[in-house]
Structure 1
Amino acid sequence: MLSIALGVRQAKLDAEMRAFFQDARPWAFILFREACVSRVQVQALCNELREAAGHDAIVWIDQEGGRVARLKAPEWPTWPAAAKYGEAFARDNVTGIEATYLGHRLIAHELKSIGVDGDYAPVLDVPVEGSDKIVGDRAFSAEPKLVATLARAALEGLHDGGVAGCIKHMPGHGRATADSHLALPRVSVSEAELINDIYPFTRLADAEAAMTAHIIYEAWDPDRPATCSPKVIDEIIRATIGFEGLLMSDDLDMHALQFAMNGGLQQRAETALKAGCDVVLQCSGKLADMQEAAKGCANLTGPSMVRARAVESFAKRPAREFDADAGWARFNLLMNSQTS
């Protein structure tokens, strides 16, 4: 299996895409909005992707809730942004934790029912005043301890639904003053200040998967974004944070990496993997881009394969028994509660 997860932006595979997947055997796939038309269609697409890859690949999606949701109404329910769970916690701590767990348990129930078994959530970033709005209400709170508490509840909700989670964006996107989709952010604060940012990640260092940030942290490596920095990955993510799970890059297509290096997708993939990422993400949905990025990847082996198998153990296990109708009724009650 190739050390790459490939974005899919079509409702059904064409012959060329199918042939490429059969040859490349990517470790995983990622569904985007264009690939999600109906429940029946998504389930058929997931089956088609796994058949083409020749193995029971994880199919991931970005379904955080709020503005980051690939599954949209009216075909699918609408889930709140993470900040709404923080507001629920502020009204009542116990209610807020239960609502966070249940909201993500309901997401997992919906995903599992259509063949999707990985969610790029929860977000552990801690936004600060003056930072770019790309994180904003995707964060549970501006308080690191609360972010960690609610992220743990979210991850447990996904797990109980038989869905793997992925904490992001390690080691923290909350201070970035630019959107890494469009620019290469630089964070210039001291190492002591960055301790605040990594705190939630240290609390969830046992998570099965994490996604890197395309950000330069000058206190750690003034020349390379975290995704491409052996120093940040080895010394901060693996050692200081203590993360031992599968480390995935953010999307190789994002402008941050284009500004960080002169080469194309092949070089970006090679650089990220050499720096210590286990798997890279390529999300354009374009066959030529997939083919170029794949040239920079090798088959999963050694510790990376062990970590990938551990993620699969979360994604492929059956969901616990769950009454979704009762779950929605309870969830709506919790989120609408004004208990102080």
Structure 2
Amino acid sequence: MTPAVFGLTGLSLTASEKAFFRESDPAGYIIFGRNIESKTQLRALTDELRAIHGRDDLAILIDQEGGRVARMQEPIWPKFPAGEVFDKIYDIAPATAIEAARLNAQAIAVSMREVGITVDCLPLLDVRQPDANNVIGDRALGSEPMRVAALGRAILDGLQRGGVVGVVKHLPGHGRTSVDTHKALPTVTASDEELQVDLAPFQTLNKAVMGMTGHLLFTAWDAETPSTLSKTVVQDIIRDRIGFDGLLFT
């Protein structure tokens, strides 16, 4: 098996994609907006991917967070809320916020399973920091680590109840970025002590099955190499200090 998650070019597989995927046998696939037209089309696409490998448990991923990050969109699918909504409910009624996050995640999972998608890149465990770039912004579950962890645990549980695996992201923490990491490489200059706030939710939920790294440069840990590529960050911080031993990808 090739330790990679592949994307697709369009709404159905080309002959060359089928041949390449069959030969390379990747760990899984990820679906983007360019691959989605309708429920029937999307289910046919995911069925075709499973048929190539003969594996019902093939990992087929998507970014379906709710809010501004949602590949499956209206009017075909419901518009689910962003993480910030549950943070605001928590201010009023913590238990209600946790249950709402769980039920919302379960509803997302049910809509995904219907079209054959098995993994959601959710929840975000990034602790929101003031004055950070809006790339995380309202996607975050809050600025208090244990609140983020509590809501994140509920989301993982809800996804599982709906038959989908969740992915904790963005290890080791994406709440302090000064620029959009899709466009540039941010440098985080916070101290090791300050960064413990960012690590805390991931440490609480370190038994999650899957995790995704954030692409940032943390000067306190490795001033030369971005976290995704840094042996120090991946091994010493994510694996050892956070204690995450699940499937890690970017």
Shorter-chain TM range is: over 0.9
Provide the residue aligned with 2:150 in structure 1: 149
Asked if 1:60 is matched to 2:61, the reply is: yes
Provide the residue aligned with 2:80 in structure 1: 79
5+ unaligned residues in a row in structure 2: which ranges? Answer: none
Aligned-partner Cα distance in 1 for 2:9–2:139: 23
Classify the secondary structure of the residue corresponding to 1:167.
strand
Classify the secondary structure of the residue corresponding to 1:8.
coil
Aligned-partner Cα distance in 2 for 1:127–1:173: 8
Aligned-partner Cα distance in 1 for 2:231–2:59: 27
Contact 1:19–1:52 (CA<8 Å) still a contact in 2? no
Provide the residue aligned with 2:28 in structure 1: 28
RMSD: 1.0
After TM superposition, the structure 1 = structure 2 runs for residues 177-326 of structure 1, keeping only pairs within 5 Å, are: 177-249=178-250
Contact 1:83–1:140 (CA<8 Å) still a contact in 2? yes
Contact 1:125–1:174 (CA<8 Å) still a contact in 2? yes
1:197 CA drift (Å): 0.6
1:55 CA drift (Å): 3.4
Structure scoring higher RCO (CA < 8 A, sep ≥ 6) equals: 1
Aligned-partner Cα distance in 2 for 1:113–1:160: 14
Contact 1:26–1:53 (CA<8 Å) still a contact in 2? no
The residue type paired with residue 46 of structure 2 is C
Asked if 1:7 is matched to 2:7, the reply is: yes
1:54 CA drift (Å): 4.6
Contact 1:132–1:176 (CA<8 Å) still a contact in 2? yes
CA distances 1:24-76 after superposition (whole Å, capped 9, x unpaired): 11110000011111111111000111222453421100000000000000011
Aligned-partner Cα distance in 2 for 1:179–1:13: 31
- Greater Rg, structure 1 or structure 2? 1
Asked if 1:115 is matched to 2:126, the reply is: no
Aligned-partner Cα distance in 2 for 1:128–1:60: 28
Identity fraction in percent:
42
The residue type paired with residue 31 of structure 2 is L
Aligned-partner Cα distance in 2 for 1:157–1:164: 10
Provide the residue aligned with 2:91 in structure 1: 90
The residue type paired with residue 26 of structure 1 is P
Q: Given the two structures, how large is their TM-score scaled by the length of structure 1?
A: 0.72
Provide the residue aligned with 1:170 in structure 2: 171
Q: Given the two structures, how large is their TM-score scaled by the length of structure 2?
A: 0.97
The residue type paired with residue 43 of structure 1 is R
Provide the residue aligned with 1:43 in structure 2: 43
Contact 1:9–1:31 (CA<8 Å) still a contact in 2? no
Aligned-partner Cα distance in 2 for 1:182–1:41: 31
5+ unaligned residues in a row in structure 1: which ranges? Answer: 250-340
CA distances 1:112-164 after superposition (whole Å, capped 9, x unpaired): 11100100000000121111100001101111111001000000000111111
Once superposed, which parts of structure 1, at least 4 consecutive aligned residues long, lie more than 6 Å away? none
Aligned-partner Cα distance in 1 for 2:143–2:103: 22
1:9 CA drift (Å): 4.2
1:8 CA drift (Å): 2.3
The residue type paired with residue 106 of structure 1 is A
Provide the residue aligned with 1:105 in structure 2: 106
| Count of residues in correspondence between the two structures | 249
Aligned-partner Cα distance in 1 for 2:238–2:53: 31
Aligned-partner Cα distance in 2 for 1:72–1:248: 25
